[in-house]
Amino acid sequence: MEFYQLEYFCGVAEQGGYNQAARHLYRVPSAIKRAVALLEDEIGVPLLRREGRAVRLTEEGEEFVSWARTAIESRSEVLDRIRKKGPLRGRVVVAAGQAILSKFLPRLKVFMNNHPQVEILILRRRGREIGPLIEQGEADFGYLPLESCPATLEWHRSVELKMLLAVPKKHPLARKRSITIQDLSHVPLILPDRQASSGQRIHHTFLQHGLEYRPLVETGDSRLLLSFVREGLGITILQEQKIGSDTKRFVRIVDATNLFGSQVEGIAWRKRGYLSEASRKLIAALAPEAAVRMSPSSDSLLRSAGKSSARS
């Protein structure tokens, strides 16, 4: 019995199918199926059963998956203890939105340069998608608004993002000193996906003012939003993020916090379960100002990680 077999089996159990597990684990489905088949052969009982297109755990599988998850977690904890005298290693999965990723890229780059043997996978997701990823163990931690954070996660305020308007410089509203919500209701808007936290914020603001508005495009790609604005096709409303000088040549950027408020994002991880040393140090590097509340041993580990990152 190999640990990779346990990881593949847990992946199938969590994702509900071989293809879904393969996508999550970045493996081919045939490798997942073979690993699980070998595991079942060794144990001598079926652990999974098919129900239509889905795959479900058998009674024996329910019992085994609980043990397998504990074994995988224990392995990570033991490896962390053994590796403490050597360079930091491990794999960390982070889930966040595009605006957050842009804001923390410099800190992430420093961490990666200081710890080249840590493998980092970043999942770009909407705020409401991030909590379930962390709960299910598909991400070690992530950034999301408090209102999207499940009760099973620890959440700590990390950053406040302004809401911005990007207006083509040749647009009539670009000449106005103050742009109102009523002004925006009369022009074509290039908007974030309504399922995203910023898209929901914009939609609710117009509803609160009793105003209809004219979406021309809805997309989760801020670069696409800005490209439409550059072409003079409308105005966009988006979260604070880095905007290139080439875009600013054609677009006026306006602080719209007075219209749409600001977006508060926090860093979150599971309240229960082991958080690897690599994950702790990356959290400390990205959010050293976070007032972390953990068990005494965990808290001291994170604080020491923050000091180590500061010295690096």
pLDDT value of position 302? 43
Of residues 249, 287, 276, the one with CA closest to residue 160: 287
Q: Are 268 and 129 in contact (CB under 8 A)?
A: no
Please report, for residues 73, 212, 220, 236, the alpha-carbon distance to residue 250 in angstroms, rounded to integers and kept in the order given: 51, 27, 22, 13
Residue 80 token pair: 């962390």
- Do 99 and 109 share a domain, yes or no? yes
The helix/strand/coil state of 121 is: strand
| Bridge partners of residue 297, in order along the sequence | none
**pLDDT higher than 60, residue 233:** yes
108: how many CB neighbours lie within 10 A of its CB?
A: 16
% residues pLDDT > 70 (the chain)? 90
**Which is more confident, 310 or 278?**
278
In this structure, are 168 and 242 located in the same domain?
yes
- Number of alpha carbons in the 13 Å side-chain half-sphere of residue 169: 6
Q: What's the CATH code of the domain at 230?
A: 3.40.190.10
Other C-beta atoms closer than 10 Å to the C-beta of 215 total: 14
The pTM of the full predicted model, rounded to 2 decimals, is: 0.67
Tell me what the mean pLDDT of segment 211-225 comes to. 90
Give yes or no: residues 77 and 104 share one domain: no
Residues 258 and 164 in one domain: yes
Q: Domain check: are 269 and 127 in the same one?
A: yes
- The count of C-alpha atoms lying within 13 angstroms of the C-alpha of 52, restricted to the half-sphere facing its C-beta, is 2
The residue ranking higher by pLDDT, 228 or 26, is 228
Tens digit of pLDDT for each residue in 133-151?
898 788 999 999 988 899 9
CATH number of 26's domain: 1.10.10.10
Confidence bin at 206 (pLDDT 50/70/90): very high
Give the domain extent around 38: 3-82
The number of domains in the chain is 3
Q: Which residues does 132 contact at the CB level (< 8 Å), separation at least 6?
A: 150
Please check whether residues 38 and 118 belong to one and the same domain.
Answer: no
Supply the mean pLDDT for the chain. 85
Length of the chain: 312
Q: Tell me what the mean pLDDT of segment 149-176 comes to.
A: 92
Same domain, 219 and 188: yes
Q: Which of 274, 288, 299, 277 lies closest to 74 in space, CA to CA?
A: 274
Quote the pLDDT of residue 95: 93
pLDDT over 90 (residue 127): no
Residue 217 and residue 134 in one domain: no
Encoded tokens for 256 = 């719209």
**Is a pLDDT exceeding 50 seen at residue 295?**
no
Q: How far is CA 230 from CA 75, 218, 241, 242, in A?
A: 51, 16, 16, 16
Rounded CA separation 20/119 (Å): 22
Average pLDDT over residues 223-234: 92
Q: Which of 35, 67, 82 corresponds to the end of one domain?
A: 82
pLDDT digits (tens, 9 = 90+) for 300-309: 444 444 444 4
Nearest-angstrom CA–CA distance, 31 and 36: 9
Query: Residues 148, 286: one domain?
Result: yes
Report the DSSP pairing between strands 54-57 and 214-219. unpaired
pLDDT classification of 84: cutoffs 50, 70, 90: low
